[in-house]
Structure 1
Amino acid sequence: MEIAFQTDIGRRRSQNQDRVARYTDKNGHQLMIIADGIGGNLSGDVAAEMTVKRLGHRFKVDSPENPLDAIRWFAREVQIINDQILKKSKEKMIYQGMGTTMVAAIAFQQTLVVANIGDSRGYLLHDKLLTQVTIDHSLVNELVRNGDITEEEALKLPQSNIITRAIGISPDAQIEVNRFDFHPGDQLLLCSDGLFKTVEKRTMVAVLNQQISLKAKCAQLIDMANDAGGPDNITVLIGKNDDQEG
């Protein structure tokens, strides 16, 4: 598994509240995670940092053994982090209302387990076709799913930044967790909304299909988001299944 990631403050924000990391457990499995902090008088970065570091720590000391175990592991560990953030939000005024979105994945040879809450996204590139494998927990996505508006219209609405679920906002974290085939040559793209709200899906596909390093792909996507105005923090992680044994 080859992995690269990059985060950028963007053009219009005074602080980067995104966090990104990868962790390896004792069996060599990889955890990849992005958290995009929200609310709380600019303390969203605290919630994002807690989520990434604590999930990573748990992965290193008590990681799931297989994909089915990983589904239960994500649900349990994220709920614990949710409780910890809610508790911390009561410690100081500056922490009140802080929370974070999260998208994370664990790779098991030819299976990916992907978890998300909020509107940070996961995509899977297979045979040059890019599929979104997460569901946005956002107000506009509810309208899209009900058929009231199109995906293109959703990106233009001023309410596009209103999310309906996040870590640290309510007692129940309500994450989505699903498993997917992950074949040799497939690529996983995790990103915060600063990317997909500014860079079209077909452009992402073109970048991912290039014969360049994953690091160069991350840099290209972030440059494109900034060239489109960079209204938000931008974080990109790309993982490629480089197992040649099939």
Structure 2
Amino acid sequence: MARRTPDTLDCASAQWIGKRREQEDVVKSLSVDGGMLGIVCDGMGGHLRGACASCVVADAFASAFAESGQQEIPARLAEALHAGNEALAATQKEPEESGTTLLAAFIRDRCLWWISVGDSPLYLWSGTDGSCMDRLNEDHSMRPIADCLYRKGEMSLQRALRQRCVLRSAVMGGPVELVDISVMPLLLHPGDAVLACSDGLQVWSELLREPSFLALKAARERSSRHLVETVMEQVKDMLEPQQDNASVWAAVVRKS
């Protein structure tokens, strides 16, 4: 259900299994210390128990963040990531037998912090720009590297397309190779929407055009619930034959 926090945040989430046999994404949302924490974990389908991995990491991250004694939000996010990674390691019979990406966003007093491992995108949709979503976090897949090599003529299109989905970092119970964390908060303004997504929405975001933005804008003005439902309707309308699990957590800043 959509809910309001003291920061006048309107939050909601939605998921779709897509064309997969199992839903391996997990979305969590909880109110913490006057702010709102949103978590998206995308279990790795190519590994054993991807759905279990995403649940374990999301639950451990949420608990550690809520119970942390850290005052600085970046340190608190890093501590929670460590707790999630350790919790996953404790469930494994073999090292790194399962894994998940992780994206967590915390909003308080109209300030946004995040931490991410993997390729799940975090978007800022400005309330003053109706036709552009800016990605805030780093992409820890081969996508940006493969695209760059293709543009330079150093990689074929077929190979680039195969390489795009390969992860360079994930939470797997062992060393985490790449972590993107916001050291300084990003100031949000009334009308802004923050969208934490699984990578099942990557194609959707790349194909967004004016008609889609008009529908999204109308939904955003009504509620975060209508916004996430409209996102999922647009993903379904793409009719992607290999559509991955799709998940989105949205927080819209409302005027006090």
SS in 2 for 1:167: coil
**42 and 90 in structure 1: CA distance in 2 versus 1, 3 angstrom threshold:** closer
Tell me what 1:177 maps to.
Answer: 181
Quote the residue 2:3 is aligned against. Answer: none
Kept in 2, the 8 Å contact 1:130–1:205? The answer is no
Worse-superposed segment, 53-62 or 128-137: 53-62
The reply on whether 1:48 has 2:54 as its aligned counterpart is yes
Aligned residues: 231
Could you tell me how far 1:87 is from its partner in structure 2? Answer: 3.2
**How far 1:57 sits from its partner (Å)?**
1.5
Closer, same or farther: CA 42–208 of 1 in aligned 2, 3 Å: farther
Change (3 A) 1:74 1:191: same
**Quick check: 1:47–1:85 contact (8 Å CA) kept in 2?**
yes
Contact 1:122–1:189, Cα closer than 8 Å, also in 2: yes
Pairwise CA RMSD: 2.4
Matched ranges for 1:1-246 at <5 A: 1-10=9-18, 12-25=19-32, 27-39=33-45, 41-62=47-68, 65=71, 69-90=72-93, 97-126=97-126, 127-128=128-129, 129-144=132-147, 147-149=148-150, 157-168=161-172, 170-172=174-176, 174-178=178-182, 179-199=185-205, 200-202=207-209, 205-210=213-218, 211-230=221-240, 231-244=243-256
Distance (whole Å) between structure 1 residues aligned to residue 143 and residue 65 of structure 2 = 33
Contact 1:23 1:59 in 2 (8 A): no
Gaps of 5+ in 2: 1-8, 152-156
1:123–1:163 CA distance, 2 compared to 1 (3 A): same
CA distance in 2, matches of 1:173, 1:49: 21
Shift of 1:47: 1.1
TM-score (norm 2): 0.81
Aligned to 2:5: none
1:125 touches 1:187 (CA, 8 Å); kept in 2?
yes
Shift of 1:96: 5.7
* Residue type at the aligned position of 2:235: A
What is the distance in 2 between the residues matched to 1:218 and 1:177? 25
C-alpha deviations, 1:7-26, integer Å up to 9, x for none? Answer: 1101x21100000011112x
Q: Which residue of 1 aligns with 2:154?
A: none
How far apart, in 2, do the equivalents of 1:137 and 1:234 lie? 18
- Unpaired stretches in structure 1, ≥5 consecutive residues: none
In the superposition, the TM-score normalised over structure 1's length comes to 0.84
8 Å CA contact 2:146–2:163 kept in 1: the answer is no
Distance (Å, rounded) in 1 between the aligned partners of 2:11 and 2:168? 30
Equivalent residues of 1:83, 1:168 under 8 A apart: no
Letter in 2 for 1:164: R
Alpha-carbon contact 2:57-2:87 (below 8 Å) kept: no
% same residue? 24
2:69 and 2:30 map into 1 onto residues whose CA distance is 11
